[in-house]
Chains A and B, each alone.
Chain A
Amino acid sequence: MNIIYLVIFFPLISFIFLFFFKNVLSYKIISFISFLLISLSVVSVCLLDIFFFISPYFTFEKCLWSWWNIQSITIDIGILIDSLTCVFLSMITIVACLVYFFSIWYMQHKTNNIGFFELVNLFLVNMLILVISNNFLFMYLGWEGISVCSYLLINFYYSQVRVNYSAMKSFIFTKVGDLFLITAILLLYIHYHTLNFYEIAFLTKIYLIKGTKFLQIVNVLLLIGAIGKSAQIPLQIWLPEAMVGPTPVSALIHAATMVTSGIYLILRNYNVFILTPHVLYMIGIVGGITLILSSIVALVEIDIKRILAYSTMSQIGYIFIALSVGACNAAVMHLIIHAIFKALLFLSAGVLISKCCYEQNIFRMGNQLYKRFPFLYVCFLIGGVSLAGFPIFTAGFYSKEGILLCIYNSKNMFFFIIAILSIILTTLYIFRLIFVTFHTSSNYHITKTSMNCFQYIPLIIFSIFSTTFGILILPNISNMFPMIALPKGYTKFYLESISSILVILNIFISYYFYILRKNIVLKIFILKCLVTLINFIKDSSFGFYYIYELFFLNIYLAVAYFLSRKPFNVCSCFVLFLVKKINFLLISIEDITLNVYIMLISLNIIFVSCLIILY
């Protein structure tokens, strides 16, 4: 079991190595060595997987050392391995390893490319800490670490002003969620005197933690924390903004790993969430609203990366609904499949963008691209059909069906309608993206560079796992959560056939709209009105900009204005005066010879020792 330390150890070593040698060695050597270290981490995760395949009920908890020990408060740094952690570990490390391999090519000629790898390694360490910790506070360390690393990676092209604003925005929005999370952690500790995940689960089992009003508040706060990280509706603005970073970062952080940390939080504390059904229902509502709104906005967006970002938001919303109806196993399954096909979509979009002179507008990318880049087209198609849930051949189909069946089983019509709508909308927007990008003709020139193995290998591996093959190799975690008794008989078959028919029908609809009759959307009046309306919603970010402006910005400005006026500014002026005086004094001391410094130091030592002796 000691292999678990190696999983974190290798990225950490890689980070330290890059930190000290980035100006010494060449790009090739450095990228090779750090890739080797990350793949060693993947190997150790694979060994762990084999172990869990043999004994799925195994749970390993070990306290490494005591972090804080103040009076009665003891916070340990401990690790916890069960099959849920193992699933997340394998997802994170494998996706990170492949994306890392891809970015060796992608970052080749960028400035400060080694700094990029350094940050990715640090991000990986923090993400692993998040999933591996056995208590809330150690998890919070990783939680904060990934938001800092995400900020730095979004801000990678920091020479552009727009990028700075976007990075700042995404950092602040995740930080709001973090504040709610730390409040929830403190409340939990004050009332239950433990932060350990398993101890809290145990307390719920022996009914020491009951579904009181207090627990409801804690759960709502935890939920807001999860919402902040997973980019759900009130705090969702940062995810599309985060797309200004390099594309491998979008693939790794904003599609596969970081956005799943909110779901991990809910899954880890599912025992606590079950006690408050209202909060559980709220998870579903938040997820459902996000799902519908972001899918609709993805229909009119024209930036290829932002479309994929909205699609990530909607899929995370889908997983939230699944959590709400208690379909944890299906949720984890869809989470992993989503990470795979979304990484595939992002990476192929990254190749496409770099080949089209960094043009991200899907209407201007090029002329009949599917003839020029057949391999990329196939990759994109596989990712797209997996996202849409095309029947039988794709992994997305099976994972989505699992969730749909559970939603149907929960007898909640609202969620069921949203799920069916999401199938329609998802298919529409992803095939609009594919058709517009690859099939339309426009006269923009393309720099044709040859593909090499750095692009082929990750894309091929992700493509293979996005097909049905991916669903077969998924680890089994059914022992972690309570099973739901699913309806027997033909229900599953009916649901599958309904969704398959919907998917195929919508592929034809988008084919009709975007290839056969290209400008029909602009000709029909009602559709035109709709598009304008959706664009308006998109620009104001579902109207949340107005709410933020009304409630936070205006209040902040009013308070600032109030404080800058007469009775209060005397105080600040006095502080300023004091600081200036002290500054003057210190500067006058500074400009004397070394001997006087030594004398002052000796006198100080004598003075302090006299004080110590006297008291």
Chain B
Amino acid sequence: MISLLHCLCLFLMLFVLGVISIILNDNLLSMFIGLEIIMNSISLLFVVIGNYWSHTDGQVMYVLSITLSAIESSIGLTLLIQYFRQTHTLNINKFSEIIE
């Protein structure tokens, strides 16, 4: 039996890794991967806490959130490809339009 604390540590590590990968990367694809990691770590949290309180709600939420993240990633990848076709770069700072 894996204890709750271990699971929470795993979640926290994954979450912080995701946030750091968003913060440090310039590349849109890497940031996107970071977002996916965050999303999945939160899904993990749902399952773990649901299991701890012996509820099935957590698993239901997991199914929901994984569906949503699949949709979100498909849309995001589509946009990413379109961006790349238009600008031939994936550097996030080049996309900015508010610089005078």
Nearest Cβ on chain B to A348's Cβ, whole angstroms: 55
A485 at the interface (CB under 8 A from B): no
Find out whether the CB atom of B93 lies under 8 angstroms from the CB atom of A602: no
Which of the candidate stretches B21-29, B64-72, B76-84 sits at the interface with the other chain? B21-29
Residues of chain A lying within 8 A (CB to CB) of residue B17: none
Find out whether the CB atom of B96 lies under 8 angstroms from the CB atom of A594: yes
Nearest Cβ on chain B to A608's Cβ, whole angstroms: 16
B9 at the interface (CB under 8 A from A): no
Contacts A593-B93, A594-B92 given: A602-B99 contact, CB under 8 Å? no
Find out whether the CB atom of A598 lies under 8 angstroms from the CB atom of B99: no
Find out whether the CB atom of A594 lies under 8 angstroms from the CB atom of B93: yes
Residues of chain B lying within 8 A (CB to CB) of residue A594: 92-93, 96
Main secondary structure of the interface of A (DSSP, over half): helix
B8 at the interface (CB under 8 A from A): no
- Please report the C-alpha to C-alpha distance between residue A591 and residue B100 in the assembled complex, in whole angstroms: 10
- Please report the C-alpha to C-alpha distance between residue A542 and residue B25 in the assembled complex, in whole angstroms: 74
Total inter-chain residue pairs, C-beta < 8 Å: 18
Chain A interface size band reads under 10
Tally of contact residues, B, Cβ under 8 A: 10
- Please report the C-alpha to C-alpha distance between residue A602 and residue B24 in the assembled complex, in whole angstroms: 13
- Please report the C-alpha to C-alpha distance between residue A598 and residue B24 in the assembled complex, in whole angstroms: 10
Residues of chain A lying within 8 A (CB to CB) of residue B22: 595, 598
Residues of chain A lying within 8 A (CB to CB) of residue B19: 598, 602
Nearest Cβ on chain B to A598's Cβ, whole angstroms: 5
- Please report the C-alpha to C-alpha distance between residue A602 and residue B16 in the assembled complex, in whole angstroms: 10
Q: Which residue of A lies closest to B26 (CB)?
A: A595
Nearest Cβ on chain A to B76's Cβ, whole angstroms: 15
A599 at the interface (CB under 8 A from B): yes
Nearest Cβ on chain A to B34's Cβ, whole angstroms: 10
- Please report the C-alpha to C-alpha distance between residue A598 and residue B23 in the assembled complex, in whole angstroms: 6
Nearest Cβ on chain A to B24's Cβ, whole angstroms: 7
Main secondary structure of the interface of B (DSSP, over half): helix
Residues of chain B lying within 8 A (CB to CB) of residue A595: 22-26, 92
Find out whether the CB atom of B93 lies under 8 angstroms from the CB atom of A599: no
Binary flags per residue of B1-28, CB closer than 8 Å to A gives 1, else 0: 0000000000000000001001111100
Q: Which residue of A lies closest to B92 (CB)?
A: A594
Nearest Cβ on chain A to B90's Cβ, whole angstroms: 13
Nearest Cβ on chain B to A297's Cβ, whole angstroms: 58
Residues of chain B lying within 8 A (CB to CB) of residue A598: 19, 22-23
- Please report the C-alpha to C-alpha distance between residue A67 and residue B22 in the assembled complex, in whole angstroms: 44
Binary flags per residue of B21-65, CB closer than 8 Å to A gives 1, else 0: 011111000000000000000000000000000000000000000
- Please report the C-alpha to C-alpha distance between residue A599 and residue B22 in the assembled complex, in whole angstroms: 9
Q: Which residue of A lies closest to B95 (CB)?
A: A594
- Please report the C-alpha to C-alpha distance between residue A594 and residue B94 in the assembled complex, in whole angstroms: 10
- Please report the C-alpha to C-alpha distance between residue A593 and residue B18 in the assembled complex, in whole angstroms: 18
Q: Which residue of B lies closest to A596 (CB)?
A: B23
Contacts A593-B93, A594-B93 given: A599-B23 contact, CB under 8 Å? yes
Residues of chain A lying within 8 A (CB to CB) of residue B96: 594
- Residues facing B in A588-611 (CB within 8 A) are 591, 593-595, 598-599, 602
- Please report the C-alpha to C-alpha distance between residue A593 and residue B99 in the assembled complex, in whole angstroms: 10
Q: Which residue of B lies closest to A595 (CB)?
A: B23
Nearest Cβ on chain B to A461's Cβ, whole angstroms: 55
Nearest Cβ on chain B to A386's Cβ, whole angstroms: 63
- Please report the C-alpha to C-alpha distance between residue A594 and residue B24 in the assembled complex, in whole angstroms: 10
Nearest Cβ on chain A to B97's Cβ, whole angstroms: 12
Find out whether the CB atom of A591 lies under 8 angstroms from the CB atom of B99: yes
Residues of chain B lying within 8 A (CB to CB) of residue A599: 23
Nearest Cβ on chain B to A594's Cβ, whole angstroms: 5
Q: Which residue of A lies closest to B34 (CB)?
A: A598
Nearest Cβ on chain A to B28's Cβ, whole angstroms: 10
Give me the interface of A with B, judged by CB distance under 8 Å.
591, 593-595, 598-599, 602
Give me the interface of B with A, judged by CB distance under 8 Å.
19, 22-26, 92-93, 96, 99
Q: Can you list 9 pairs linking A and B with CB atoms under 8 Å apart?
A: A593-B92, A594-B92, A594-B96, A595-B22, A595-B24, A595-B25, A598-B22, A599-B23, A602-B19
Nearest first, the 8 A-B pairs at minimum CB distance are A599-B23, A593-B93, A595-B23, A594-B92, A598-B23, A598-B22, A602-B19, A594-B93
Given contacts A594-B93, A595-B92, A598-B22, 15 further A-B contacts (CB under 8 A): A591-B99, A593-B92, A593-B93, A594-B92, A594-B96, A595-B22, A595-B23, A595-B24, A595-B25, A595-B26, A598-B19, A598-B23, A599-B23, A602-B19, A602-B23
